C-alpha cells in the first residue's frame, strides 16, 4: 500500500469535484457530491468516502446517474413533501430536502420528505446532523440494492437499508446515530475488496450461502442482518418507509451502486424532522437531553453516539485528510479523462 499524503479538506473537495465535472456532471452537483464524499472520509466512513469516486464517475459517464439532473419538489403539503431526484445523484435532493424541512416542521410540528428516483445517499449521519444543527430531531431511512435475505431465506430481497437519527444538544454538537441493518455496511466490504483484505467472519455468506471472509465473495453473496431476525424485520420496515411510501424501486428492483451497468437504481429515501417546540418545548427537550448525555459523558467507558466524528474533523481541519498516493493518482487521472 502506498504512503498517505495529507491533503487540506477544501483542496481535496476541489480535486474530487474536478473528477465529476470531467465525468459529465454539472459544477454545482460535482461540488455537492465531492463535499459529501470527502466529509464521509473525514468522519471515518471510508466505505462512503473516496472509495466511491471511481464507481460514481463511471456511472455518470455512462448515464446510469444523470450528473445534470436537478431535483424537483413534486408535492408540498404542510407535513409531507416529495422530491423527485430525477435519476441524479442523491446529494442535491438531500440538500433540497434539508432546505425545506425546518420550515415545514416548524409549522406542523413534524414533517417528512420522501425522495424517489434516487441514488446512493452516502453517510446518512451527515444529513440528519444538518437538520439537528437547525434545531430538529431527525430520522432518515434509505433502501439500497438487494444485499440481504429475509430471515431464514436465501434470496436477496432487502438492501443494507441504513437508518440514521440525530438530536440537538445545548452547547454541544448533535448526538448522531448512523447504522446499516446488515452486520456491516456494504461499502466496508467494497473497501476491503479494493484493498485485497479479508473481512471478519460473521459479516457475510458467499453465493452458495456459506460463511466467508473473502470480501469479493461476500459482494457476490448475502450480507448477514444485524441482530438476526430483528435486523431483517427492520430492513423490511425501511423498504416500506423509503420505497412503498415514495414510489421508488424496492431493493430487488434496483441496480448496483458499484458499477455502470443497467438502468438508474431508482431507490428511495425518507427524512423526518421533529420540532421539539411542538411537544414538551425546546428548553425542556434540551434540558432532558443534557441530563442523559451528561450521565453518559460522566462514565469514561462510554461516549455519546457520534461523538468520535468531532475529534476526526478537528484533526482533518488542522492536518488535512490522509489520502494514499494511489488514490491521489486515480483522482488525478479521472479528472483528466
Q: What is the mean pLDDT of the chain?
A: 95
What local confidence, expressed as pLDDT, does residue 210 receive? Answer: 85
What local confidence, expressed as pLDDT, does residue 337 receive? Answer: 76
Q: What value does the mean pLDDT take over residues 40-63?
A: 96
Q: What value does the mean pLDDT take over residues 54-71?
A: 98
Domain range 1-62+309-337, CATH class? mainly alpha
Render pLDDT for 120-176 as a digit per residue (tens, 0 to 9): 999 999 999 999 999 999 999 999 999 998 988 878 999 999 999 999 999 999 999
| Confidence category of residue 206, pLDDT binned at 50, 70, 90 | confident
Give yes or no for residue 3 having a pLDDT over 90.
Answer: no
Give yes or no for residue 63 having a pLDDT over 70.
Answer: yes
| Main-chain phi, psi angles of 323, to 5 degrees | -125, 130
- Residue from 166, 207, 151, 162 nearest 188 by CA: 162
What local confidence, expressed as pLDDT, does residue 187 receive? Answer: 73
70: left (phi over 0), alpha (psi -120 to 50) or beta: beta
Domains of the chain, by residue range, sit at 1-62+309-337, 71-180+227-306, 183-224
Q: Which residue has the cell 444529513?
A: 127
Measured CA to CA, the distance from residue 248 to residue 141 in angstroms comes to 13
| Confidence category of residue 205, pLDDT binned at 50, 70, 90 | confident
Judge whether 13 and 40 are in contact, CB under 8 Å. Answer: no
Give yes or no for residue 1 having a pLDDT over 60.
Answer: no
Q: What percent of the chain has pLDDT over 90?
A: 88
Confidence (pTM) = 0.93
Domain range 183-224, CATH class? alpha beta
CATH topology of domain 71-180+227-306: Ribosomal Protein S8; Chain: A, domain 1 (3.30.1370)
What local confidence, expressed as pLDDT, does residue 2 receive? Answer: 67
DSSP readout, 281-324? -HHHHHHHHHHHHHHHHHSTT---TTTHHHHHHHHHHHH-EEEE
Q: What value does the mean pLDDT take over residues 82-95?
A: 98
Residues ≥6 apart with Cβ < 8 Å to 85: 69, 71, 92, 93, 115, 116, 117, 118, 119
| Main-chain phi, psi angles of 99, to 5 degrees | -70, -40
Supply angle C-alpha 254, 147, 251, rounded to 5.
30
Amino acid at each position: 500500500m502506498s504512503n498517505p499524503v495529507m491533503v487540506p479538506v477544501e483542496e481535496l473537495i476541489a480535486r474530487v469535484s474536478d473528477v465529476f465535472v470531467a465525468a459529465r456532471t454539472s459544477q454545482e452537483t460535482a461540488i455537492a457530491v465531492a463535499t459529501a464524499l470527502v466529509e464521509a472520509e473525514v468522519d471515518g466512513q471510508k466505505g462512503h468516502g473516496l472509495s466511491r469516486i471511481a464507481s460514481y464517475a463511471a456511472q455518470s459517464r455512462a448515464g446510469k446517474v444523470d450528473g445534470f439532473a436537478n431535483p424537483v419538489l413534486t408535492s408540498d403539503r404542510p407535513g409531507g413533501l416529495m422530491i423527485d431526484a430525477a435519476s441524479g445523484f442523491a446529494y442535491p435532493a438531500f440538500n433540497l430536502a434539508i432546505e425545506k424541512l425546518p420550515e415545514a416542521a416548524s409549522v406542523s410540528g413534524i414533517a417528512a420528505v420522501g425522495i424517489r428516483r434516487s441514488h446512493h445517499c452516502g453517510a446518512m449521519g451527515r444529513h440528519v446532523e444538518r437538520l439537528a444543527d437547525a434545531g430538529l430531531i431527525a430520522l432518515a431511512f434509505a433502501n439500497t440494492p438487494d444485499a440481504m435475505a429475509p430471515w431464514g431465506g436465501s434470496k436477496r430481497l432487502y438492501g443494507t437499508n441504513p437508518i440514521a437519527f440525530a438530536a440537538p444538544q445545548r452547547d454541544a454538537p448533535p448526538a448522531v446515530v448512523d447504522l446499516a441493518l446488515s452486520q456491516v455496511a456494504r461499502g466496508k466490504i467494497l473497501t476491503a475488496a479494493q484493498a485485497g483484505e479479508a473481512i471478519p467472519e460473521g459479516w457475510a455468506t458467499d453465493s452458495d450461502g456459506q460463511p466467508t471472509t473473502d470480501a469479493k465473495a461476500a459482494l457476490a453473496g448475502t450480507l448477514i442482518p444485524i441482530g438476526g431476525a430483528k435486523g431483517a424485520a427492520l430492513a423490511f420496515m425501511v423498504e416500506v418507509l423509503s420505497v412503498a411510501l415514495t414510489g421508488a424501486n424496492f431493493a430487488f428492483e434496483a441496480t448496483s451502486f458499484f458499477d455502470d451497468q443497467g438502468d438508474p437504481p431508482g431507490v428511495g429515501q425518507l427524512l423526518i424532522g421533529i420540532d421539539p417546540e411542538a411537544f414538551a418545548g425546546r428548553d425542556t427537550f434540551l434540558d432532558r437531553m443534557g441530563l442523559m448525555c451528561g450521565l453518559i459523558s460522566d462514565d469514561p467507558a462510554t461516549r455519546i453516539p457520534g461523538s468520535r466524528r468531532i475529534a476526526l474533523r478537528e484533526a482533518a481541519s488542522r492536518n488535512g485528510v490522509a489520502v494514499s498516493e494511489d488514490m491521489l493518482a486515480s483522482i488525478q487521472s479521472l479528472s483528466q479523462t
